[in-house]
């Protein structure tokens, strides 16, 4: 039994849960197991825990802990020449700013939690329905859901308003798919209906698997009235789903709150640290080591000086207690210099970094070029600590549906009887590009046409109006061969409920061209053909599955003719055509290749006339197959095969799975930046590859596309071995995968091997093969092959596998990874990657809530990485160099002064200057460069903002200087500010100003000269890239990706059909009518 951890709603002690046992309408029974209630909690603090927990987190930083120790040392008068306030003031400023930022972030989490927890649900309590907050719902409660409402917890469907206990749900929050899915209650519970009394008396016990994150799997048993009923995922409504096209339904809570599959997929939020963070901690440790070295050198100097010279000075510098030992004097001096030289360890570094990151985050939030006006969705930074990491991304892991694509299918082109339709030609017969000015086909003749549907080839509608029999038969097939359900809400308002968007696009196309699917029963299909209502007898549905790659219907026309209509993959359908179709098949094949080149999803269409005798004989075979006890599926497949042969080809359809705007250009730009993109999708191989061609991740010009589809470890290892041999050429060393592994490990650097691979390669791997590839003995080989390919597409992967792939690349490549998705099935991947991005829009907000960044369109990824990411990384590096430079220049003055003051730990500057240097005088210029620096010449530093900050800092310095040396402050604090008028007298001397000017010129001129010479003689990589880009623009543009180059002897099929098995049987049984 799968084990899982479960905790109660109050976060009590965790315990292992091997199975879940829930009894309906019995809170006392269920409370014994301490199952979690429906409250969710993503916040970190509360009022009582904020201060201790936040302080504990802040003291985990090396610099903060160091300054706490330093503060304690400054309280010891024997070793401190500085007052304690020189340390505590900066430390309090840093702690306060960080605490305010953390508290603000957590307030938003509390607000989000409260919004969800306080939603209302109708719960059956004491025999009647009562409104209850979501957070108070517990396992065993029975809940009523209304149409278009969110499911509050993971429920066992008991009954619904639809016949046979059916209900329809939208799972966009879970998997990003907007097409409806069907769930069906057990017949024994569907009889409960909406009878509150019977529902209140329901006392069934569900024994099922413990909480887990598998969205597509559920196993359990219902015990009720001394009977046992098997349960699976078809009876479950998961939290995050929305009830659609169902008046009401009742469900029993099985999992609540953190135990729901939605929250189990969310996982625990990992603390993400950037490489800059790790570098800073390392630098602080090295700087601390440098500080210790300086202290030791000065302490040794003090011991020597005290022994040889210091005794003569005690007449002038009286010691309250004479230190006779020069060694002990050096020991005290060491700690004194640790205090004086403390500024070399940057107390304000972390807070300065946070301020810069916050500023960069606002730049992203305010970026109008990442704002999506159609949905009024701006880009949003949800984690402010990762901005510079965006500029170092090497691998992108992307979901497909809803992320790269819009999950919207449109009927784009078709081929009917050897003629293509869908292109637009000018008066001279030249093909023209479709744009906003192109006039679409006028469907006003059809009152039931879908107004959103647009088609631009007027010749197709003319063929229909002229009565072309093949064109009529083509659209008749589309209006009959499907599993769509129709609903006519108002007169002229026809709503289609589709199981897959592909079918929706095809039936909608037939509807607009005058063949309108109106309604169906288990025995009939009613179609309005060019204004005439025709009812066909539905004799059989030969259902679709992934092996058959086709579906068929057998209907009888009103005049008694029996016809079979079939649609499916061209590679499958062409094998079953009548020999007389050979010429038409080759012509249609050329059209299919053209459609495939444009990235369209294709289906071939065929029909067959059947005699009554032939059908009756075959129907007997079908009934025998249906009633067979052994190998039922195999017998059905054989029966289908018997009738689906010698068909007549009608043509082919081409559907566009609409990519999000700018996807192709974004992927091309990211590839030029040497960023590798992997697509991890739950879709079928054909669908995923089709999208790969659409967005040019896969092209016909690639040297090879490796497809790994083995079902065993041995098969997968063999396929990976063959891929290696192809990548590196035939070699004796490569004949053994283990030998190759050893060679790869010896090289240690995978990037070296990647450079040895010439040409473009792609890897496509299925979920069942990936499960083996992720095992310990194969993961090395999989990563090696995958990382040498330009494109990797993983199909039929589970949410857990998505996360495992990301972790695998992080482990073996030590590269910065980014994951982008839009559904709850992407959350584990988003949280596993260094950077997680959620697409916000129509597909729900679960991925957004778990992400570090969010925006509305995939195309904004280009600007996020190549503009904001690069600038953030560049600015942060410049900032760190500038920051450490100013700290070292300030601190080394004290080190040098030690040689002139007898190593006596005296300071050059007054205490207030030391206190204010980092947090006031030198903070704004370095922050300005970290926030506003641009990647250009050094003159870009002198922007208006930089001038303001630099000159402003100087002005603040003089203002504070004159204030501290004024009469007024002396009167208030005579012991702390005794030097009245010192600043005024000093700065009135011309020699002081000449020294300042001379020092500035001597310091700046060599640097400026060096940088201008370097710019001219040794340009940076940025300048070289700019020159290269200018040279490329002058060259002849690259040939179009779409050119027809044959990689193999056979033609590539563009078949893709996102349909599921089982809907045909559901229709013929009448359960969903």
Catalytic residue positions, numbered: 399
What is the 8-class DSSP label of residue 150? B
- The full DSSP string for 1029-1050 is HHHHHHSPPPPPTTS---SSSS
Helix, coil or strand: residue 1002: helix
- Chain mean position to CA 959: 51
Task: Tell me, letter by letter, the H, E, C secondary structure of 800-861.
Answer: HHHHHHHHHHHHHHCCEEEEEECCHHHHHHHHHCCEEEEECECCECHHHHCCCEEECCCCHH
In degrees rounded to 5, what are phi and psi of residue 400? Answer: -100, -65
Q: Are strands 816-821 and 393-398 parallel, antiparallel or unpaired?
A: parallel
Distance CA 974, CA 215 (A): 73
**Contact (Cβ atoms closer than 8 angstroms) between residue 600 and residue 413:** yes
- Chain mean position to CA 1020: 34
Nearest to 550 by CA among 594, 626, 605, 622: 605
Distance CA 1034, CA 878 (A): 34
Distance CA 568, CA 936 (A): 57
Nearest to 188 by CA among 162, 161, 225: 225
Distance CA 123, CA 153 (A): 12
Beta bridge partners, 181, equal 169
**Contact (Cβ atoms closer than 8 angstroms) between residue 667 and residue 695:** yes
Two tokens at 1054? 């563009």
Distance CA 596, CA 575 (A): 19
Place of tokens 């011309």: 990
Place of tokens 């170092």: 392
Helix, coil or strand: residue 492: coil
Please enumerate in sequence order all residues whose Cβ is within 8 A of that of 770, keeping only pairs 6 or more positions apart, or say none: 794, 797, 801, 805
Distance CA 827, CA 850 (A): 6
- For residue 76, the tally of other CB atoms under 10 A from its CB is 12
Distance CA 1058, CA 556 (A): 28
- In 405-447, DSSP assigns E strands to 405-416, 419-421, 424-425, 431-432
Helix, coil or strand: residue 674: coil
Task: Tell me, letter by letter, the H, E, C secondary structure of 648-681.
Answer: EEEEEEEEEEEECCCHHHHHHHHHHCCCEEEEEC
- The full DSSP string for 534-567 is EEEEEEEEE---TTT-EEEEEEE-TTS-EEEEEE
In degrees rounded to 5, what are phi and psi of residue 207? Answer: -115, 120
Distance CA 229, CA 223 (A): 7
Diameter of the chain measured on Cα atoms: 130
Distance CA 515, CA 392 (A): 54
- Chain mean position to CA 352: 29
Distance CA 905, CA 340 (A): 7
Environment class of 1056 (CB within 10 Å of its CB; exposed 0-12, middle 13-18, buried 19+): buried
């Amino acid at each position: 039994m799968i084990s899982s951890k479960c905790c109660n709603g109050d976060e009590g002690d965790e315990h292992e849960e091997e199975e879940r046992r829930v009894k309906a309408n019995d809170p006392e029974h269920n409370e014994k197991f301490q199952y979690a209630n429906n409250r969710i909690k993503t916040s970190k603090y509360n009022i009582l825990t904020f201060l201790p927990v936040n302080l504990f987190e802040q003291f985990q930083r090396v610099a903060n802990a160091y300054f706490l120790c330093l503060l304690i040392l400054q309280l010891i008068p024997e070793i401190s020449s500085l007052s304690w306030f020189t340390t505590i003031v900066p430390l309090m400023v840093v702690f306060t700013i960080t605490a305010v930022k953390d508290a603000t972030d957590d307030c938003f989490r509390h607000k989000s939690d409260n919004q969800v927890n306080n939603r209302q649900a109708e719960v059956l309590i004491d025999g009647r329905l009562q409104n209850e907050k979501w957070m108070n719902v517990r396992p065993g409660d029975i809940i009523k859901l209304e149409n278009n409402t969110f499911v509050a917890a993971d429920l066992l469907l008991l009954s619904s308003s639809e016949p046979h206990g059916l209900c329809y749900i939208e799972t966009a929050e879970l998997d990003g798919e907007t097409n409806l899915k069907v769930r069906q209650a057990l017949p024994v519970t569907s009889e409960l209906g909406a009878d509150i009394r019977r529902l209140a008396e329901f006392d069934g016990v569900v024994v099922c698997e413990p909480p887990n994150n598998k969205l597509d799997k559920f196993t359990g048993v219902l015990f009720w009235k001394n009977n046992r009923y098997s349960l699976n995922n078809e009876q479950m409504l998961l939290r995050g789903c929305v009830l659609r096209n169902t008046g009401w339904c009742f469900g029993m809570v099985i999992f609540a709150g953190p135990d729901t599959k939605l929250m189990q997929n969310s996982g625990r939020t990992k603390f993400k640290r950037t490489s800059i963070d790790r570098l800073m901690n390392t630098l602080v440790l090295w700087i601390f080591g440098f500080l210790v070295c300086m202290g030791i050198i000065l302490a040794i100097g003090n011991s020597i000086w005290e022994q040889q010279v210091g005794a003569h000075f005690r007449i002038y510098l009286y010691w309250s207690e004479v230190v006779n030992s020069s060694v002990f004097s050096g020991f005290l001096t060491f700690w004194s210099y640790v205090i004086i030289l403390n500024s070399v360890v940057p107390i304000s570094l972390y807070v300065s970094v946070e301020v810069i990151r916050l500023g960069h985050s606002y730049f992203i939030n305010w970026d109008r070029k990442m704002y999506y006006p159609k949905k009024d969705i701006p880009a949003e930074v949800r984690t402010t600590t990762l901005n510079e990491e965006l500029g170092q991304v090497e691998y992108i892991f992307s979901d497909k549906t809803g992320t790269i694509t819009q999950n919207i299918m449109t009927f784009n082109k078709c081929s009917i009887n050897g003629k293509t339709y869908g292109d637009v030609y000018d008066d001279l017969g030249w093909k023209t590009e479709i744009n906003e000015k192109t006039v679409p086909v006028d469907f006003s003749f059809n009152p039931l046409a879908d107004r959103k549907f647009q088609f631009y080839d007027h010749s197709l509608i003319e063929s229909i109006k002229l009565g072309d029999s093949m064109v009529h038969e083509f659209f008749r097939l589309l209006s009959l061969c499907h599993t769509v359900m129709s609903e006519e809400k108002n007169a002229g308002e026809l709503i289609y409920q589709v199981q897959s968007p592909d079918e929706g696009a095809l039936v909608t196309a037939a509807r607009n061209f005058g063949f309108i699917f109106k309604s169906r029963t288990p025995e009939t299909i009613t179609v309005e053909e060019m204004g005439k209502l025709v009812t066909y007898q539905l004799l059989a549905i030969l259902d679709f599955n992934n092996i058959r790659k086709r579906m068929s219907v057998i209907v009888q026309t009103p005049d008694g003719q029996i016809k079979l209509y079939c649609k499916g993959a061209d590679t499958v359908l062409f094998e079953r055509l009548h020999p007389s179709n050979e010429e038409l098949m080759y012509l249609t094949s050329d059209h299919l290749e053209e459609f495939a080149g444009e990235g369209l999803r294709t289906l071939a269409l065929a029909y067959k006339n059947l005699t009554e005798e032939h059908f009756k004989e075959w129907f007997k075979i079908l009934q025998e197959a249906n009633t067979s006890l052994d190998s039922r599926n195999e017998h059905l497949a054989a029966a289908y095969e018997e009738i689906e042969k010698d068909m007549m080809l009608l043509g082919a359809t081409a559907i566009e799975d609409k990519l999000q705007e700018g996807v192709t250009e974004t992927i091309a730009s990211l590839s030029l930046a040497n960023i590798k993109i992997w697509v991890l999708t739950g879709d079928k191989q054909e669908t995923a590859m089709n999208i790969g061609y659409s967005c040019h991740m896969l092209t016909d010009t690639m040297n090879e596309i490796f497809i790994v589809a083995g079902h065993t470890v041995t098969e997968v290892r063999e396929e990976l071995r063959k891929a290696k041999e192809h990548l590196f050429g035939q070699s004796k060393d490569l004949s053994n995968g283990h030998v190759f592994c050893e060679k790869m490990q010896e090289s240690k650097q995978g990037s070296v091997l990647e450079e040895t691979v010439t040409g473009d390669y792609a890897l496509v791997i299925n979920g069942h093969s990936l499960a083996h590839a992720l095992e310990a003995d194969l993961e090395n080989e999989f990563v090696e092959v995958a990382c040498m390919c330009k494109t990797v597409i993983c199909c039929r992967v589970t949410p857990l596998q998505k996360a495992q792939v990301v972790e695998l690349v992080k482990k073996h490549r030590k590269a910065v990874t980014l994951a982008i998705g839009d559904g709850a099935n992407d959350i584990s991947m988003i949280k596993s990657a260094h950077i997680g991005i959620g697409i916000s829009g129509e597909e729900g907000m679960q991925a957004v809530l778990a992400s570090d960044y969010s925006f509305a369109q995939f195309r904004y990824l280009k600007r996020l990485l190549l503009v904001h990411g690069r600038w953030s990384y560049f600015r942060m590096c410049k900032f760190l160099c500038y920051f450490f430079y100013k700290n070292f220049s300030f601190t080394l003055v004290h080190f040098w002064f030690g040689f002139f003051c007898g190593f006596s730990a005296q300071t050059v500057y007054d205490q207030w200057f030391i206190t204010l240097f980092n947090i006031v005088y030198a903070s704004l210029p370095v922050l300005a460069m970290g926030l506003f620096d641009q990647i250009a010449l050094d003159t870009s530093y002198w922007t208006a903002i930089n001038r303001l900050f630099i000159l402003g800092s100087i002005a603040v310095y003089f203002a504070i200087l004159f204030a501290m040396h004024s009469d007024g402050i002396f009167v208030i604090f005579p012991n702390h500010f005794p030097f009245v008028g010192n600043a005024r007298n000093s700065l009135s001397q011309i020699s002081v100003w000449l020294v300042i000017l001379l020092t500035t010129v001597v310091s700046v001129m060599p640097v400026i000269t060096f940088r201008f010479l370097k710019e001219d003689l040794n340009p940076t990589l940025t300048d070289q890239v700019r020159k290269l880009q200018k040279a490329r623009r002058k060259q002849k543009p690259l040939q179009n990706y779409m050119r027809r180059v044959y990689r193999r002897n056979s033609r590539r099929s563009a078949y893709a059909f996102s349909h599921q098995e089982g809907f045909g049987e559901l229709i013929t049984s009448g359960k969903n009518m």
